[in-house]
Chains A and B, each alone.
Chain A
Amino acid sequence: MRVLCAMSGGVDSTVAALLMRQAGHEVVGVTMVLAPERDPEEEAQAGGCCSLADAQDARRSARAIGVPHYALDMRAPFARHVIADFEREYLAGRTPNPCVACNRGVKFDALLEKADELGCELLVTGHYARLAPAPEGGLALYAAADPDKDQSYVLYPLRREVLDRLAFPLGGMRKAEVRALAREAGLPVWDKPDSVELCFVGRDYRDYLARTRPEARRPGDVVDTAGRRVGRHAGVAFYTVGQRRGLGVPPGPDGGPRYVVDIDPEANTVVVGGREEAMRDRLRVEEMNWLAPPPRPGEEVAVRVRAHGPLSRARVLPPEGDGTLDLALAEPLFAPAPGQAAVLYRGERVLGGGRLARLGGTVAAARA
């Protein structure tokens, strides 16, 4: 079978491609060029283009496993979906997840289009997640065997009808096994560190926003949960719910640290409070994408609101908003940030997910 393997230049996608080749498939390796091309002089001063470095790593890896490799230009959809969403969300006082935005708007759609054009039956990536038959028919998405590496969280935006066009060969493996396989096969990337930064952003998203969206610099008040002014902020885009550092406000009445517990973009305020005031016992999830029959009100599910965060037990509430999902948490959760992905699980299976909405004022501390 001819398959399209997305190769990022890292060890995971390289081993995924290697496994497909060893299984006898005809592999076409591709690397997506996503980050906008900067001015070459600026690029050189910054130490070179990361897209370029990754594409070169991917090319070396593809050569090492004996498959053809091509770079694909996806800068336009990436800028349109991911970068625009990233900036818009921060400006609105939310905390975006660009990996989710990329999986939703760019990566899988664009690569499946290329797979179709090239006559490739499957699209293969190095994600740690599993695909297996669903009890009700079709395929379902499951968490990876390696809980430390599980990436099912960022895959929730996949459309259900494309699952049978995908393969995640690493879903049943542990990272250490993947590295060992890469080393055994003599792959130059076997010890390349896992990528951590956002290529287009650099080290600090705040510097990036200040540079690209000058309107983000819109100072306002930092207030406590009673509405008293306790300081000034540089612009709501520079803060994240749950943030503790760099707030420049005195400790609370109890002497404990202050956290961002809410961001109100309309009032242009950042609300701070103690740890208890950042706890939430309800979640509202918007833009749900279902990968399973939706659970009915009253049903119990597990929910994850951070990429490698814990699973929390929650009960589905009767729907209130349009297309939104409301959940009651069994235990209050610290600072779920509006804009972040909330992904529902039943056991290992991903039921679906969406974006956390802002639930103004529902401070669990009030209940305590």
Chain B
Amino acid sequence: MQPVYLDHAATTPLDGRVLEAMLPYLRERFGNPSSPHAVGREAAAAVDRARDQVAAWVGGRAREVLFTSGGTEADNLALRGVLGALVPAGRDVLVISAVEHEAVRETARSLARTGVTVREAPVDEQGRVDLAALETLVDERTALVSVLRVQNETGVVQDVAAVAAIAHRAGALCHTDAVAAAPAERPDAAAWGVDLLSLSGHKVYGPKGVGALWVREGVPLSPVLTGGGQERGRRPGTHDVAGIVGLGAAAALALAEGAAWAEHMRLLKERLWCRVAAAGDAVRTGEGVATSAHTLHVRFPGAPSDSVLIALDAEGVAASAGSACSAGAVGPSRILRAMGVSDEEARCGLRLTLGKDTTVEDVDRAGEALVRAVEGVRRRRRVREAMA
């Protein structure tokens, strides 16, 4: 039987149309966009077109789009770049939330070692950033506030527009990592009022190894890499033309079709929730607050997620806990712990993420397999406890 893939937050399949757009740049159109001849100009035209496509998606201008190697690099460039530019001006504070992706969290820790003051805003029980607490952390020394739009593990949506308003009131800039939001929602930098926004290609049916940082015109940014002056010196290095073309094509698809994808996925997500709730005692993370259309995060107390995932894998269902360590082991989720979930229950979280091409059959099969897996693990644990 075909495996069911419900781990689109890890990565998505490349859309066939994106692949077709990329292929010429992996074959005959091999030019370097920086070269001053026809072969180079052909590649430069492709990069410019992709820049237009990404700019249109985020509601910005083409000159505001920097291409990177992915979401992690975009986050690094945003945090290191803004702090690098503003610390000399006396703004040496970085404010992040307690539920940031590692790309932001670890970069903040790294900056803290260089003398930057990092403050962390807590979240409530539903995983939403506590805006009142955030406001008290942002002051005239704050260079940047970075809060992700959608939490990559739980799918909980943050009020980024309110975060940006808080930052701006103190004269600080605002960055959002929109990598986990983009598969189900337009990363609308203009509407949110943010100053920097990170994107990744492979989460939205584009290729791996490419991403973008949108930087509002006029925002000071020190480069992290130094080299040949590409991307106006802000991100030097020969362009990955095929990857950039792929990201542009994916952005164009998402802009045209994203609303329909989101509607499709939200219906399937509710269907999946009905199916998995049959396992009993299922707790839906972010119940009652806005969550991303493609992410269903559930906790099954008494069924540790590592065992459930192994059982699901054996049934051909790919899912995730969303909280593996670097070696791939599923531990208690730091995101759930930040929401006040007990250590025990923080080991029982499952992240099921849908894609635009997920079907009703996929959801029904995965739901049944998940109920079997959870009940199996719980039953065997009960037997074990009874024997002890």
A116 at the interface (CB under 8 A from B): yes
- Taking the nearest CB of chain A, how far is it from the CB of B3, in angstroms? 13
B328 at the interface (CB under 8 A from A): yes
Q: Which one of A56, A68, A71, A117 contacts B377 once the chains associate, using CB atoms below 8 Å? A: A117
Given A33-B329, A49-B326, A75-B331, also A70-B106 (CB < 8 A): no
The answer on a CB contact under 8 Å between B380 and A117 is: yes
The answer on a CB contact under 8 Å between A40 and B377 is: no
The answer on a CB contact under 8 Å between B384 and A52 is: no
Scan B360-379; emit 1 where CB is below 8 A from any A CB, else 0: 00000000000000001100
When distances are taken between beta carbons in the complex, the residues of chain B under 8 Å from A206 are: none
Question: When chains A and B are docked, how far (Å) is the Cα of A28 from the Cα of B309?
Answer: 13
A31 at the interface (CB under 8 A from B): yes
B381 at the interface (CB under 8 A from A): yes
A303 at the interface (CB under 8 A from B): no
The answer on a CB contact under 8 Å between B326 and A40 is: yes
Question: When chains A and B are docked, how far (Å) is the Cα of A49 from the Cα of B328?
Answer: 12
B325 at the interface (CB under 8 A from A): yes
When distances are taken between beta carbons in the complex, the residues of chain B under 8 Å from A56 are: 327
Q: Which one of A28, A39, A55 contacts B329 once the chains associate, using CB atoms below 8 Å? A: A55
B interface with A by C-beta (< 8 Å): 102, 106, 109-110, 113, 304, 306-307, 309-311, 313-314, 324-332, 376-377, 380-381, 383-384
Closest residue of chain A to B311, judged by CB?
A118
Q: Which one of A33, A117, A118, A119 contacts B327 once the chains associate, using CB atoms below 8 Å? A: A33
A-B contact pairs, 15 of them (CB 8 A): A33-B327, A33-B328, A33-B329, A37-B326, A40-B102, A41-B106, A41-B109, A41-B110, A56-B327, A59-B328, A70-B306, A71-B330, A72-B329, A75-B331, A117-B304
The answer on a CB contact under 8 Å between B380 and A119 is: yes
Count class of interface residues, chain A: 20 to 34
When distances are taken between beta carbons in the complex, the residues of chain A under 8 Å from B384 are: 113, 116-117
A191 at the interface (CB under 8 A from B): no
A269 at the interface (CB under 8 A from B): no
Closest residue of chain A to B387, judged by CB?
A116
A interface with B by C-beta (< 8 Å): 28, 31, 33, 37, 39-41, 43, 49, 51-52, 54-56, 59, 68, 70-76, 113-114, 116-119
The answer on a CB contact under 8 Å between A37 and B325 is: yes
Q: Which one of B102, B106, B310, B328 contacts A118 once the chains associate, using CB atoms below 8 Å? A: B310
Question: When chains A and B are docked, how far (Å) is the Cα of A55 from the Cα of B324?
Answer: 13
When distances are taken between beta carbons in the complex, the residues of chain A under 8 Å from B377 are: 117-118
Question: When chains A and B are docked, how far (Å) is the Cα of A113 from the Cα of B381?
Answer: 8
The answer on a CB contact under 8 Å between B330 and A73 is: yes
Question: When chains A and B are docked, how far (Å) is the Cα of A317 from the Cα of B35?
Answer: 89
Given A70-B306, A72-B306, A117-B307, also A40-B325 (CB < 8 A): no
The SS class assigned to the B binding surface is: helix
When distances are taken between beta carbons in the complex, the residues of chain B under 8 Å from A28 are: 310
Which residue of B113, B306, B311, B376 has the most chain A CB atoms within 10 A of its CB atom?
B306
Closest residue of chain B to A49, judged by CB?
B326
When distances are taken between beta carbons in the complex, the residues of chain A under 8 Å from B324 are: 71
When distances are taken between beta carbons in the complex, the residues of chain B under 8 Å from A33 are: 325, 327-329
- Taking the nearest CB of chain A, how far is it from the CB of B137, in angstroms? 23
When distances are taken between beta carbons in the complex, the residues of chain B under 8 Å from A55 are: 327-329
Q: Which one of B113, B306, B313, B376 contacts A119 once the chains associate, using CB atoms below 8 Å? A: B376
Question: When chains A and B are docked, how far (Å) is the Cα of A66 from the Cα of B331?
Answer: 26
The answer on a CB contact under 8 Å between A70 and B325 is: no
The answer on a CB contact under 8 Å between B376 and A71 is: no
Question: When chains A and B are docked, how far (Å) is the Cα of A23 from the Cα of B328?
Answer: 28
Given A114-B307, A117-B381, also A68-B326 (CB < 8 A): no
Given A113-B384, A118-B307, A118-B311, also A31-B106 (CB < 8 A): no
When distances are taken between beta carbons in the complex, the residues of chain B under 8 Å from A119 are: 376, 380
| Apart from the given pairs A39-B109, A68-B310, 11 other A-B contacts in the complex at a CB distance below 8 Å | A37-B325, A37-B326, A41-B113, A43-B326, A49-B326, A70-B309, A71-B324, A71-B329, A72-B306, A75-B325, A118-B311
- Taking the nearest CB of chain B, how far is it from the CB of A1, in angstroms? 15
- Taking the nearest CB of chain A, how far is it from the CB of B224, in angstroms? 15
Question: When chains A and B are docked, how far (Å) is the Cα of A43 from the Cα of B313?
Answer: 30
Question: When chains A and B are docked, how far (Å) is the Cα of A31 from the Cα of B106?
Answer: 26
- Taking the nearest CB of chain B, how far is it from the CB of A42, in angstroms? 10
When distances are taken between beta carbons in the complex, the residues of chain A under 8 Å from B383 are: 116
Question: When chains A and B are docked, how far (Å) is the Cα of A51 from the Cα of B327?
Answer: 7
Given A52-B326, A55-B328, A117-B377, also A70-B109 (CB < 8 A): no
When distances are taken between beta carbons in the complex, the residues of chain A under 8 Å from B314 are: 68
- Taking the nearest CB of chain A, how far is it from the CB of B204, in angstroms? 26
- Taking the nearest CB of chain B, how far is it from the CB of A22, in angstroms? 20
Closest residue of chain B to A59, judged by CB?
B328
Q: Which one of A39, A68, A75, A116 contacts B380 once the chains associate, using CB atoms below 8 Å? A: A116
A-B interface, 4 closest residue pairs, ranked by CB to CB distance from nearest: A73-B331, A73-B329, A71-B329, A33-B329
Question: When chains A and B are docked, how far (Å) is the Cα of A59 from the Cα of B329?
Answer: 12
The answer on a CB contact under 8 Å between B380 and A71 is: no
Closest residue of chain A to B323, judged by CB?
A73
